[in-house]
Structure 1
Amino acid sequence: MSTSTGSGTAPGTIVRRFAVHDVGLGGAIVAEWIKFRGLASNHALAGFTLFLLLANGVAMPWAYVFRDRSSPRADYDAYPEMIVDKTGYVGIILAVLAVLMVTNEYRSGQISTTLLSVPRRTSVLVAKAAIIAGIAFVIGIASSAIGFAVAPTILAGGGYGYILETPVLLRLVVGAGLYLAAISVIGVALGAIIRNVVAAVLATIVFLLIVPVIPEMFSEYGTEITRFFPIQAGSLLLAPAGTDPMGPWVGYAVLLIWTLALFVVAVITLKRRDA
């Protein structure tokens, strides 16, 4: 702080000037983390996602052990990907959580304070994305690791099992985290682009669940087109090898392209609009 009696002021008037510190990305991330922890609904949605993924990791092996042996559709061997095969769609909950992290600030008017504290708007959006992506990554890693830890025991109780090589295990466990992180960043992007809570949540669900089905309804090439949408492409990282010609990592690269493209649009939109 400094003081002066600068020109244009009445004689004897003391003017105090305070230094303005530009909050960097690190400070923005800390601020977003504090805001995230402060809302019980954030904990509830993140915890619910973890619960569903853990439940799937336990339920799928049990379902295999007690499946109807007389059904032709149940005539298949146990496979490790069953532990994470619902991750693709459960991840939508984290995408919605990410949407709310952005849109709730617009609804409450807190976004004005946020942008005043962190004038670099790109840093605000990157910080929000970093927080939700980090949380999503941990949820994916934890849920899949626990699932793979308990599944062999459950399957062994029915006399079953599967072969799981270390590279595949690493792909599925780390891949669950990577997939959920990317999907959650899409939620941040759509929230920043649309801003309205209800509209952004509905748009996220429609974009991730309904839009990919539309090409199959109206085009003979619909199935091929659908493969390149975020969930369909990204889920290949958690699917058995050979499920799709793209393969797991190319499929995830397609998801990352969607994520990056939407995030860039969100950054441009945030910069050009008033809070």
Structure 2
Amino acid sequence: MSLATATRSETTKQFTTSLWWILAIVLLVYVGFTASVLAFVFSASSTGALPGNGPQIPSEGLAPVLYSSATSVGYVFPLLIGTLAVTSEFRHKTLTPTFLATPRRATVLVAKLVVGILLGVLYGIIGLVAAFAPSAAFLAGYGLDTEITSPDTWAMLARMLLAYVLWVFVGIGIGALVRNQVGAIVGVLVFTQFLEPVARAAASFVEGLSDVTKYLPGAASDALVGASVFAVSTATTGNASTPLEWWGGALVLLGYAVVFVVLGWLFSWRRDVS
């Protein structure tokens, strides 16, 4: 079976089940709600509309920070869809007929990565809409600059799409390496929602630690995008290191994807499947 045929087969697998659109809806709601809350609080704070002694957020550069919530809080969704794209096959035993139809297993893995580009762009667009619409609405409502016409904003949106694609690649690599679906999902959630955030928060209080944590995948993704809500929350401690350039963040995140895919190929993908 050729790569084109294998890619069509993998595309059919992804879009004939309900998993992709369920995750897409959750992504839309989760990012949209988070972006709305952040946009309200930050916009109101910037204009002094918050009652009491609320946090004082400068209005300059606020729009990119709010738009970046699509990746800073939503990156777990492309990571999950990439992981599930592989582990679901192990769980439901569909890899057996797949490998019988396509004996060259590398072709199957490459086809999944090709489909991963489509999934990354699709989820990226959903995430961007979910973050962009409420953020721009609140900014405009409070009389703040939405920066919609800025070339830098559109360049950042393009980098966010790239980040989504790279996160899908990372997920595919993790899924190829960790066959157990429950174990892979739990590992992904624990690392992205607990371990890395705690490590990055601790780095903001420990001098020199941020020089290490900036190479973590989430930090690399934020560097690629060029803005992050997380960076704003930790910038006041004084221990933050100089972040990676956007291309450096892209290379680091791509490096994680390559490492996981190669490890998955060497230690799991070539093993027998039942």
Q: Sort the TM-score into its range (normalised by shorter chain).
A: 0.7 to 0.9
TM-score computed with the length of structure 2 as normaliser:
0.79
1:9-35 Cα shifts (integer Å, max 9, x gaps): xxxxxxxxxxxxxx1111111111111
The alpha carbon displacement at 1:85 in A equals 2.7
CA RMSD of aligned residues (A): 2.8
The alpha carbon displacement at 1:186 in A equals 1.1
Distance 1:247 1:163 in 2: 21
Amino acid at match of 1:51: V
Verify the 8 A CA contact 2:39 2:134 in the aligned structure 1. Answer: no
Partner of 1:198: 182
List alignment gaps of at least 5 residues for structure 2: 236-241
**Closer, same or farther: CA 105–245 of 1 in aligned 2, 3 Å:** closer
User: How does 1:1-275 map onto structure 2 within 5 Å?
Assistant: 23-67=1-45, 68=50, 70-71=52-53, 73-77=55-59, 79-81=62-64, 82-144=66-128, 147-148=131-132, 151-163=135-147, 166-212=150-196, 213=198, 216=202, 221-240=208-227, 244-275=242-273
Tell me whether 190-199 or 124-133 shows the greater mean CA deviation: 124-133
Verify the 8 A CA contact 1:190 1:266 in the aligned structure 2. Answer: yes
Distance 2:269 2:128 in 1: 38
Runs of 4+ in 1 over 6 A off after TM superposition: none
Distance 1:193 1:147 in 2: 32
The alpha carbon displacement at 1:57 in A equals 4.4
Verify the 8 A CA contact 1:237 1:249 in the aligned structure 2. Answer: yes
**Closer, same or farther: CA 50–272 of 1 in aligned 2, 3 Å:** same
List alignment gaps of at least 5 residues for structure 1: 1-22
Amino acid at match of 2:5: G
Tell me whether 146-155 or 111-120 shows the greater mean CA deviation: 146-155
Tell me whether 256-265 or 163-172 shows the greater mean CA deviation: 163-172
TM-score computed with the length of structure 1 as normaliser:
0.79
The structure showing larger relative contact order (alpha-carbon pairs under 8 Å, at least 6 residues apart) is: 2
The alpha carbon displacement at 1:39 in A equals 1.3
Amino acid at match of 1:266: G
Total equivalences in the alignment: 252
Amino acid at match of 1:231: G
**Closer, same or farther: CA 269–256 of 1 in aligned 2, 3 Å:** same
Verify the 8 A CA contact 1:69 1:75 in the aligned structure 2. Answer: no
1:37-92 Cα shifts (integer Å, max 9, x gaps): 12112220123213333444444333333442643623321512212235233211
**Closer, same or farther: CA 37–112 of 1 in aligned 2, 3 Å:** same
Q: Which has the larger radius of gyration?
A: 1
The alpha carbon displacement at 1:113 in A equals 0.8
Distance 1:86 1:153 in 2: 16
